[in-house]
Amino acid sequence: MAKKKNNFSIYWVYALLGVGLIAFQLYMGQTEQTNVETTQLETIADITKTDSAESGVRQVTIVNRENSPYAEFQLNKAGIDSVLNSKDAQFADMKKAIKASEEKDKTKILFVIEDLDPTLLAENLKKQKIKVKYDKRTDYFGTILSYLLPFVIIIAIWIFVMRRMSGGGGGGSGQIFNIGKSKAKLYENGKTTHVTFSDVAGLEGAKEEIVEIVEFLKNPSKYTELGAKIPKGALLVGPPGTGKTLLAKAVAGEAKVPFFSLSGSDFVEMFVGVGASRVRDLFKQAKEKSPAIIFIDEIDAIGRARGKNNGFNSNDERENTLNQLLTEMDGFGTNSGVIILAATNRADVLDGALMRAGRFDRQIYVDMPDLNERQEIFEVHLKPLKLEKNLDVSFLAKQTPGFSGADIANLCNEAALIAARKDKKKVEKQDFLDAVDRIIGGLEKKNKIITPSEKKAIAFHEAGHATISWLLEHAHPLVKVTIVPRGQSLGAAWYLPEERSITTTEQILDEMCSALGGRAAEQLIFNKISTGALSDLEKVTKQAYAMVSIYGLNDKIGNISYYDSRGQDMFTKPYSDDRARIIDEEASKMIEAQYQRALNLLAENKDKLTELAEKLLSSEVIFKEDLVAIFGQRKWDKKEELEEKITETEEEESEVKIESSKTTEESKPVISKEEDLKNPPEFKPKGAKEEKEEKEGTDE
């Protein structure tokens, strides 16, 4: 039977003590008599001069005659009758007090006079032969409270601020100083993320290794009988949106052990030593509940490599946190039964000590999904949607090369939104195609003001891209070309990239030539160029410098790479000024050569280029069949069909309008798949969304 959680809080004790003190003060401040305040001595004279010979006042007590004096008048029967029979408005309050008194003996009615002259009052009372007593009283509670109250307020404000700064997480309700407590979310006792391994599509290799860890926790004897030990940690590495955190959620949903989840930034605090303290508290909690799993998302927030120059751009607090994490993961005090899962998309910046075996025994690379994996991901995200009958999921997978799992989820949602916007009852294939265009190119801006001359220049620019890509063997197959403004682009050309495990020099040069086709068309037709080729120039510049200085694809530089995978040479260049000049010259020569090549190709096919541009001006959007009608069938298409791994029916080919070579993930035009984990920051290819279907637009 599970132990019942104790909900008692120490704050209830504090509250009861406070209420008790207040009640005690109120009780001690009251007497059995009724209190009435007045400051008029004429009222006293009226009471003391009753109709009877007897004075109406039994006793007068002057309290603290030297410091804030006041007098207590105790009335007798004659005085009470005199007050009740009086019609003077001065006695109104006293009458109410007497009538409200529940005392049977009304001779104990008491009223207080403040702000008086005790000497004058005593003399008047002596003349009337009324007994006067003197008393000195001290309000101990009020005195103590006056001293303590400012300190109590200051301490309360300080505690409130500290709790707000610490996030209020971690320790129990009775913990005040919980800044150093772990902020990890705990999943146990049936509490799950509602995500299982069945919700994780694709990622078969990564899922297999993660499932093995969960199986070890469920059935350890299967492995321990052979002498195997449970892996101490697994590091999930991959581009954003590929499903690293989703895998961790599935582990939390499947594992029947306590699961601690937190982010790397949760260790970071403005106070010194808080990060290390939270690491210690986290592992302490995990060891108490072992076997357990700890998941640290975005571990690069605290796991960055420690540099030698601590005086420059250093963070001692972050390093202290990392050192504590290293010690807890694999130090003298081994954490038996505690498995560490971590996720990052910046594995290149992590500290080498963190990456070693014994801390992270497994490094699981979660790559962009290929064709089959994208199809599986689509089937998961299409379940909640109302779809048209016989929707071809494989067609959708072929239209989304380079899309991550998160991108596919977003695509399905965008398609549903587009269908709802058009008042459709079901989501159709065209809605998904519109969603792809919306995500890649942005929202259409049909009302954007463009002059006829600008529109003509844009049409020839995009026609130049389409022409060169059609005439070159290694250029990406065309999907469609449009001159309708989308997002920041005045026009765009979409291509379906090929799958490439490696990239050759010829392939990169063809892609560079295709990218420069837009500007070359402007030069050829109008004999002037514009700023519309900004994105094209950026792309080819990165490709040229990568070929020369990183991949050793230049004859003059030779087989030399100046790429630093660890990023240690951020502020220094590993080559001389003379070599830098050569690199600049070779990159420039390479770009200019491809530009001249594009000019020559377009000059040879100027009539077809013009025809294509005129058709683009009239229809605003052209597809592959339009290029077939103008240029004829590409001679490389048959070769591509023979290389396809997955056969397609003729119906599917007519719907797709595209014949891709392997119709899977986009190959990175500059960096081969072998170097995907080590993308150089200065020559990094376009982002994921730009890689999906390369857009070569006329960006202003």
Which tens digits make up the pLDDT trace of 355-391?
888 888 888 888 888 888 888 899 989 989 989 888 8
Q: What is the mean pLDDT of residues 66-90?
A: 72
Above 60 in pLDDT, residue 350?
Answer: yes
Q: What's the confidence (pLDDT) of residue 74? A: 74
Three-state SS at 693? coil
Distance CA 241, CA 222 (A): 34
For residue 681, the model assigns a pLDDT of 38
> Active-site residue among 72, 254, 414, 462?
462
DSSP alpha helix (H) spans, 166-203: none
310-328 per-position pLDDT tens digit: 554 555 778 888 888 888 8
- Among 290-294, 339-343, 598-602, 668-672, whose mean pLDDT is lowest? 668-672
Predicted confidence at residue 658, as pLDDT, reads 33
Q: Looking at this protein, which amino acid is placed at residue 458?
A: I
128-137, 330-339, 519-528, range with greatest mean pLDDT: 519-528
pLDDT for residue 135: 77
Burial class (CB in 10 A: 0-12, 13-18, 19+), 305: middle
Q: Is the pLDDT of residue 420 over 90?
A: yes
What does the pLDDT read at residue 202?
80
Average pLDDT of span 274-288? 86
Question: 46-55, 89-98, 577-586, 595-604: which has the minimum mean pLDDT?
Answer: 46-55
Q: State residue 548's pLDDT score.
A: 93
Question: Is pLDDT above 60 for 661?
Answer: no
* Contact yes or no for 334/283 (Cβ under 8 A): no
394 or 306, which is more confident: 394
Of 152-161, 213-222, 250-259, 264-273, the least confident: 264-273
The predicted pLDDT at position 414 comes to 92
List, for residues 429-443, the tens digit of each pLDDT value: 889 988 888 888 777
Predicted structure pTM score: 0.62
Which range of 54-63, 508-517, 643-652 scores highest in mean pLDDT? It is 508-517
Average pLDDT, the chain: 75
| Choice between 100 and 685, residue whose per-residue pLDDT is larger | 100
Greatest mean pLDDT among 53-62, 70-79, 290-299, 580-589: 580-589
Query: Mean pLDDT throughout 277-292?
Result: 86
pLDDT, residue 583, reads 93
pLDDT confidence tier of residue 273, bands split at 50, 70 and 90: confident
Phi, psi of 19 (to 5 degrees): -65, -40
Identify which of 241-245, 600-604, 682-686 has the greatest average pLDDT: 600-604
pLDDT at 41 over 50: no
Question: What integer pLDDT is reported at residue 647 of this predicted model?
Answer: 44
Report which listed range, 198-202, 309-313, 437-441, 542-546, is most confident: 542-546
- Which residues on adjacent β-strands are paired with residue 336? none
The reported pLDDT for the residue numbered 671 is 27
Q: Quickly state the pLDDT bin for 697 (edges 50, 70, 90).
A: very low
- Looking at residue 270, its pLDDT comes to 66
What length does the chain have? 700
Q: Please give the pLDDT value at position 57.
A: 73
Measured CA to CA, the distance from residue 151 to residue 268 in angstroms comes to: 31
675 is catalytic: no
Q: How far is CA 336 from CA 231, 290, 342, in A?
A: 11, 8, 18
Residue 171 confidence (pLDDT): 41
What are the tens digits of pLDDT across the range 520-535?
A: 999 999 998 888 888 8
Amino acid 113: pLDDT: 64
**pLDDT given at position 585:** 93
Rounded percentage of the chain residues whose pLDDT exceeds 70:
71
How far from each other are the two terminal CA atoms of the chain, in whole angstroms? Answer: 69
Higher pLDDT, 690 or 57: 57
d(CA 246, CA 213) in angstroms, rounded, equals: 16
- pLDDT of 40 above 70: no
Give me the pLDDT at residue 520, please.
Answer: 93
- Listing from the earlier edge strand, what are the strands of the sheet with 37-38? 37-38, 110-114, 70-75, 57-63, 132-135
Of 53-57, 292-296, 398-402, the least confident: 53-57
Which pLDDT band, with edges at 50, 70 and 90, does 600 fall under? very high
Where does 269-395 show beta strands of DSSP type E? Answer: 292-297, 338-344, 362-365
Distance, CA of 274 to CA of 316 (rounded, Å): 12
CA distance 683 to 679: 8
Neighbours of 475 (CB within 10 A): 24
